[in-house]
A and B are shown apart, each in its own frame.
Chain A
Amino acid sequence: MVSTIKNNSTFKEKTRLWLLDHPNLNPFNFSIKRSYRNLTSGIRTFPDFIIIGAGRAGTTALYSYLIQHPKIIPAYTTNNEDVADLHFFEYMISDNIKWYKSHFPISFSKSQKKHFITGEFTSTYMYHPDVPKRIFNLLPRVKLIVILRNPVDKAYATYQQQFRFGEITTTFEETINAEFRRMNFNTDFPELNSKNDDFENSVAHNIIRHGIYVNYLETWFKIFDTNQILILNSYDLKNSTKETLNQIFNFLNISNYDIPDISPVNVGTYTPINKTTRQKLIDFFKPHNQRLDELLSTTHNWDD
């Protein structure tokens, strides 16, 4: 039965696979700007700050506010968008440091007494278990910014986003029940897990677990100094935007500045969550939120 399998791939398919294997030589992927940046990557800087998460909690909005500051220069993106999520430390596109450096500005202008800083944001750095070590090995003094949102709202917003993308096709209740089942599988039958180190990257399959912030932040605090990590609340960013932005500017050691455009960015529109499922999730997250409060010595009013 196995012998009936033939290797009858066509020429078109073969070239497609070869081009996927050699992305540097792919003519459809060539651009002058990017090759210039690759050539000059040796004289480019590393980022001074990184926004590491959490997704759907206001990372895109925060980054788009920060890059309006005259002394913050944004990272370059290939998609001609203002915001940069590079996913470098997850080794998603490349693990080459030159590739990473090519996204940041040239460091000569620093010596011309034009003091500036740069940074990037990737909303899934927070979850990947290997990323803290990788960042510390490359950039031990980098400053990290985290925004946290009520995990129930975050879970529902993530579900709506992934539903729009076509990653999920079922209802919210069905998806969270499936995830609870998988969590039970992991405790009852650990041998059935696929043991993929990069599983934490997949947002659509971690809707609930990505809301347990303590488990992730504990590993970050083990590796980085507490002065290097700033933890914000998305409620504060939304309601008292100026004060939180000034707090960030102090943290980054740059002067305060009135950001001209603080309109909301990347907002999803959807029907509100069902009340009984909301209560169920609140009960699930309650002990984890208490542990988070103990870790950060703060109070998050996320229980209503």
Chain B
Amino acid sequence: MNYYLPRITGMINLNRSNSGIIWKKLDGRKKLYTKIETSTHEYRNWNPFRSKLGAALFNGLEIFPFESGSKIFYSDTTTDTTLNHISDIIGPNGKISVDKFNKNSEKFDIVYLKISDNRNLETEIFNYESHLKNSGFLIIFLNNSSNTIDSSFQNLTTKIINNSKMSFQLIQEINLADFFKNHMMILLQKTETSLRMV
């Protein structure tokens, strides 16, 4: 086994027919199934090689803010399967907005953001902050285009954390290199005494 050594052991289930992280379809219950129970429920397979959020779960995401009925803004419109899984978790009462903010926009519980360029960091974080509820969560997926992982990544993440320090608290950062090359996830929470509050 030289090609990967994941730190979270759910990986073993990938080698079997009923594999991966599994979530009950449109159930809204919070439980990570690693084995299928004998019941009539329908399950959806969460392949960490296809979904960055699934990869984050495999690599030790501790606080998982998605709940049944939560409202989410989702800015990543690539063709991965994450949206299906999120919709399973939040259930029929939840809401996902994908394209743009409405003009009379309501505030969201969670903002799911993908950043591949660090030029507009400050403005982007400032924009999304105003649409987030107090003590809501900001999930950022970083994609570093250059091949060197260490120094440039550290610059990027420290830049984000320092920029957002006024209104956000760092909860967790996760390296997704086992499943996605040069990818990183940062989970931030909006502080209730935000200085830039709109």
Q: Please tell me if the beta carbons of B63 and A185 are within 8 angstroms of each other in the complex.
A: yes
Q: Please tell me if the beta carbons of B62 and A203 are within 8 angstroms of each other in the complex.
A: no
| A35 → chain B closest CB, angstroms | 14
Q: Give 9 pairs: A residue, B residue, CB < 8 Å, sorted on A.
A: A5-B83, A21-B15, A29-B3, A186-B62, A195-B32, A196-B57, A196-B61, A205-B172, A205-B174
Q: Please tell me if the beta carbons of B161 and A170 are within 8 angstroms of each other in the complex.
A: yes
**Which of these, A4, A95, A170, A181, contacts B169 with CB under 8 Å?**
A181
Q: Please tell me if the beta carbons of B9 and A92 are within 8 angstroms of each other in the complex.
A: yes
A1-B83, A166-B175, A167-B175 known, 10 other contacts, Cβ within 8 Å: A5-B79, A5-B84, A23-B1, A90-B9, A181-B189, A182-B171, A194-B32, A196-B60, A197-B34, A202-B59
Q: Please tell me if the beta carbons of A203 and B7 are within 8 angstroms of each other in the complex.
A: yes
Residues of the B chain whose Cβ atoms lie less than 8 Å from the Cβ of A271: none
How many B residues, CB 8 Å from partner?
Answer: 55
Residues of the A chain whose Cβ atoms lie less than 8 Å from the Cβ of B158: 169-170
Nearest 9 Cβ contacts at the A-B interface: A202-B60, A194-B64, A169-B157, A169-B154, A198-B9, A92-B9, A178-B170, A205-B60, A202-B7
**Which of these, A2, A91, A166, A182, contacts B63 with CB under 8 Å?**
A182
In whole angstroms, how far apart are the Cα atoms of A17 and B158 in the complex? Answer: 33
Chain A window 145-179, contacts with chain B (Cβ cutoff 8 Å), 1 for yes, 0 for no: 00000000000000000000011111000100110
Chain B window 1-35, contacts with chain A (Cβ cutoff 8 Å), 1 for yes, 0 for no: 11101111111101100010000000000111010
Would A193 and B64 be within 8 Å (CB), given that A5-B79, A20-B49, A169-B153 are in contact? yes
User: Which residue from chain A places its CB closest to the CB of B10 in the assembled complex?
Assistant: A198
Chain A window 226-244, contacts with chain B (Cβ cutoff 8 Å), 1 for yes, 0 for no: 0000000000000000000
Residues of the B chain whose Cβ atoms lie less than 8 Å from the Cβ of A21: 14-15, 19
Q: Please tell me if the beta carbons of A196 and B157 are within 8 angstroms of each other in the complex.
A: no
User: Which residue from chain B places its CB closest to the CB of A185 in the assembled complex?
Assistant: B63
Q: Which of B170-197 contact A (CB under 8 A)?
A: 170-175, 177, 184, 189
| B175 → chain A closest CB, angstroms | 5
User: Which residue from chain A places its CB closest to the CB of B150 in the assembled complex?
Assistant: A166
In whole angstroms, how far apart are the Cα atoms of A192 and B62 in the complex? Answer: 8
